[in-house]
Amino acid sequence: MSSESPKHVLFGQFAAVAKAAAHPNRLELLEQLAQGERSVEVLADRLKLSVANASQHLQHMRRGGLVAARRDGKFVFYRLADDAVLDLVAALRRVAETQSAEVERVVRSYFANRDALEPVTRAELMSRLRDGAVTVLDVRPQDEFALGHLPGAINVPLAELERRLSALEPGQEIVAYCRGPYCVLSYEAVAKLRARGFTVRRLEDGYPEWRAAGLPVEAGIQS
């Protein structure tokens, strides 16, 4: 019989969960999986990793209880084990934001320089949506949009933004969002649109946080 105290056993398991997330690639994989279920091949392509490397990271996270997997023929698909995983990542982010000088420097030098305006909160956007007073712009790739998006959102991936400006109403405020609070896509979209004279702000975070908050979502591709 083990001589370890129950508390020590529990803390060991908590540490195993933390260890499962302890790699930049794994946190980025979790960000991708927060958009919806994906195959190993798609995840590897999105992160510019080899399939073997992506698979190894995913297996570590599965053993740590962060993700779940299913097999479909030759392909393995992964998803977040639970929305509580989003809370874990958010807690890591908050601690780093308040305690890491390097995080503060990167946020100030890169993100704040691109958009100094206060982002739109989820509550504010819900109110604006009810009033029909805003255009919601999803700048993620189309496959992520199809897995789930904010109600009534228009999907214009960042790479297509310049040639699809006609899809946006010039006189209406735009709220842009993507994968999360530090997703570069929405920052770049805001900068491009403001340079073209549009009134645009970012959502405070992304689709995963919106869904986890229990707010309405839609799925599928626009007709």
Q: What are the tens digits of pLDDT across the range 107-130? A: 888 887 777 778 999 999 999 998
103: its two tokens: 């995080």
Domain coordinates in residue numbering, the chain: 6-85, 104-212
183 is catalytic: no
Q: How far apart are CA 122 and CA 71, in angstroms?
A: 35
State how far the Cα of 133 lies from the Cα of 128, in Å rounded to an integer: 5
Tens digits of per-residue pLDDT, 210-222?
Answer: 999 999 999 987 6
Q: Which residue among the candidates 134, 136, 156, 178 is catalytic per the annotation?
A: 178
- CATH class given for the domain over 104-212: alpha beta
End-to-end CA distance of the chain: 62
Residue 192 and residue 158: Cα distance in Å, rounded? 9
Give the mean pLDDT of the chain: 93
Say how far apart CA 158 and CA 184 lie, in whole Å: 10
- pTM of the predicted model as reported, rounded to 2 decimal places: 0.89
User: pLDDT (tens digit, 9 = 90+) per residue, 143-165?
Assistant: 999 999 999 999 999 999 999 99
Identify the CATH number of the domain defined by range 6-85: 1.10.10.10
pLDDT band at 2 (very low <50, low <70, confident <90, very high): low
Quick: pLDDT tens for 19-78: 999 999 999 999 999 999 999 999 999 999 999 999 999 999 999 999 999 999 999 999
Fold match between 6-85 and 104-212? no
pLDDT at 52: 98
Does residue 51 sit in helix, strand or coil?
helix
**Coil, helix or strand for 153?**
coil
Kindly provide the residue ranges of all beta strands, DSSP E only, lying in the chain, ordered along the sequence: 38-39, 67-72, 75-80, 135-138, 154-155, 174-177, 200-202
